[in-house]
Structure 1
C-alpha cells in the first residue's frame, strides 16, 4: 500500500560526532540534539534543512456529534473552516508568526463550501456515520481518502516541501480518536475519553458510554487498521493517516499535532511501522489519554503547554524548535573551527 523505507542508521556515529563536537558541553542542548540527529538521518547528514514547510488542516464532521458529545454543534466545524480562510483562528496567528504556510482541506464537513476560495475539496461525504450506531464509513471511502491524501502530499513534494505538519478540525472527533486509542491500545473507553472542548461531567459520562457502545458494536470487525478507520474513524483522521504514510514514503518529515492527529499516527504505524521514523511530535496535549498515546509510540513531544485546541497549533509552535535543531547542527562552530581546546 505504502512503500516506506526505514531511516538508515548507517551514519549515526558521524552525526553524533558532529553534534558532540559543537562548541558546547556534551548533551547541553538536550532534546534539540535528539531532534537534530533525527533530522540528519531523514534529510541527510551533511546539511539537513527545512524547505518550504506546510501545515495541512483536515476538516470533517462526525455523526456522533448529533448525540451531544461536545459543547458545540456540528455547524461550528463549517464556521471554524471559514474562520481559517479569513485568517482569524489561533492556527492562522501561529502560522503567520512562525512563517508556516497553511492549507485547509475539506474532507467531509456537513455543508460543502461551494465557491469558497482557499479550501481544497477532498470530500468523502457529508459527515461520517454515528459510530455508536453504524460504521463511520466504508472501506472504499478509507481507500479513497488515502489516495486523495497521497495526491495532495505528492503536490507539495513537487513544490519542494520536505516537512508537513498536520492538524484537524471536526466537532466530535475526540470521540472517534478515543475509540481508536481504546482499540489500538486495548484499553477501556472510560480511560481514553476526555473532556474534548470542555464538556461537563454529565456530557463526559454520555460520551464515554457512546464510545463504549461503538467499541461493542464493531468489536468483531476491529481486526486490522483499515477496518478500525472504517468503523471508528473520521474522514479527516483517514486523510491524516494517509498523509503521514505518503509523506514518509517520499522521505518527508511529519509533524504530528495533538490527540486526534496522534490517533491517526497510531493507525499509520500499524499499517507501516517505518512511518514512525519520520514523525516529530509537536506537543503533548492536555486531553486525557494523549500522554498514554505518547508512551505507546515512544514519542518525546517537543512542547508541553497544557493546550487542547487542535487545528495544528502545537505542530505550528514546534516549528521554531525544529528549525533551531537544524540551525545549530548546520551553523554552530566545532571546537576545532573556533580554535577552542578542551
Structure 2
C-alpha cells in the first residue's frame, strides 16, 4: 500500500501553461486551423503531460498483463483455460496480434505473468510476478482479497516504473486472460450503475449457456459481493481480475512519471476506470486507441470522457489497438517538431 499511496501522491494536473503555448503554436503552423484534427489535440495533450513543447516519442513499450479467472468454472466461455498459458507464451514471442502490429512502430512487448494458473517456464521471456494462480470464483465470493488487489496494482506500478527508468516515453496496456470480459463487464456494471444485460458481449466465445447465462453470472456475482461503487480497490477485489489491476497500476505509474499511456479496448478501458476511481487525474494522461466491438466499450469511453481515435471493428485485446495507435501518436509529435509556423517561414496570413 505504501507504493500505491506514494504513486498516487505524485500524480499532478497537466501543465496548463504549456498546453496553452502548444495550442498557440499548433494554430500557427503552416496549415489551415484545426485541419489536422485529432493529431493537434494529441500534440497539445502530450505537451501538457510532458511539460515540453516538443514531446519526444522514441522508445515505446506495451505492457501485457496475463492472468486467469476463477469465474471460468461457471462456463462463461467456450475457450479452454489453457489458452491463457499458451497465448502468454506466444505474446512473449511476438507472434500474436499485439506483437505483429507493434513491429510497425518498433515497440517493445513486455509480457507479465501476474496470475496465470499454469507455471510459465523461466526461459519463456515472461516476467513472473504471479500473485496467485488466477482469481477465485467471483460467482461464489470475492475474486481476491483487498491486499491482493493492491498488490496487483503495485505490480503494475513496478513494471511500468522500471520501463520508464529505462527510457520508455510512451506506454500501452494489454492483457491476456480467458474469461476476462466477465469481470470487466461486472466492474463496468458497478461503475456505470447499469444492468449487465445492457453491456455484456460475447467476448472471445460464449459457453453453452450463451449470453443469458453470462449475464446471470455477472449479475449474481455483483449481488453476492456487493462491491462499493465509490471504492475502486473494493470493486477490483470483489469482481475484478489480477491483470485488470496490473494494467491500472501501469496507468497510475505513467501518470506519476508524466508519461502518456495508450489504452486498448474494453478490458484496458475498465482498468483505466479503476485507475481513475483511485486518482481521477489519471484520465488526463490517457490516450484511448480504438472503439472496441464489445458492447460495453461505448459506456466505458463515456465514463472516461475519452473518444477513441480509431474505429477498426477490433476486439482482440492484448494491447493490439494500442500498438496500432502508436504511429499516430508519433505522427502528432512529428507535426509539432517538424512543421514550422507561418512566421518561421516568413509567410503572412
Per the alignment, do residues 341 and 223 of structure 1 end up closer, same or farther by CA in structure 2, a change over 3 Å counting?
A: closer
- The answer on whether the counterparts of 2:291 and 2:311 sit within 8 Å (CA) in structure 1 is yes
- Structure 1 window deviating more from structure 2 (218-227 vs 162-171): it is 218-227
Q: Alignment partner for residue 105 of structure 1, among 103, 107, 112?
A: 112
Question: Shift of residue 35 of structure 1?
Answer: 0.7
**In the alignment, what sits opposite 2:194?**
187
Question: 1:141-180 alignment to 2 at 5 Å?
Answer: 141-180=148-187
Question: Is the contact between residue 287 and residue 308 of structure 1 (CA under 8 Å) also seen in structure 2?
Answer: yes
Tell me if 1:328 matches 2:335: yes
Is structure 2 residue 243 aligned with structure 1 residue 245?
no
Aligned pair 1:25/2:32, yes or no?
A: yes
Three-state SS of the structure 1 residue aligned to 2:140 is: coil
Task: Give 1:209's aligned residue.
Answer: 216
* Structure 1 partner of 2:55: 48
In the alignment, what sits opposite 1:235? Answer: 242
Counterpart Cα distance in 2 of 1:161 and 1:76: 30
| Residues 59 and 77 in structure 1, CA contact (< 8 A), matched pair in contact too | yes
Q: Cα distance 1:92–1:20, how it changes in 2: closer, same or farther (>3 A)?
A: same
In structure 2, how many angstroms separate the alpha carbons of the residues matched to 1:21 and 1:226? 45
Q: How does 1:84-163 map to 2 (within 5 A)?
A: 84-163=91-170
Aligned pairs, number: 342
3-state SS, counterpart of residue 10 of structure 1: helix
Does 1:254 pair with 2:288?
A: no
- Judge which range, 39-48 or 202-211, deviates more: 39-48
**Structure 2 Cα separation of the partners of residues 73 and 163 of structure 1:** 34
CA contact (8 A) 2:171 2:262 kept: yes
> What secondary structure does 2:171 align onto?
strand
SS at 1:98 equivalent: coil
TM-score normalised to structure 2 length: 0.95
Q: Which residue matches 2:281?
A: 274
Deviation at residue 221 of structure 1 after TM alignment:
5.0
CA shift for structure 1 position 74: 0.8
Displacement after TM superposition at 1:282 (Å): 0.9
Give the conservation status (yes or no) of the 8 Å contact 1:302–1:321: no
Say which of 296, 301, 310 aligns to 1:303.
310
Quote the offset at 1:95 in angstroms. 1.2
Q: How far has the Cα of 1:101 moved from its partner?
A: 0.6
DSSP-derived class of the 1:164 partner: strand
CA RMSD of aligned residues (A): 1.4
Aligned 8 A contact 2:230 2:277 in 1:
no
Shift of 1:85: 2.5
Deviation for aligned residue 1:331: 0.8
How much has 1:242 moved relative to structure 2? 1.2
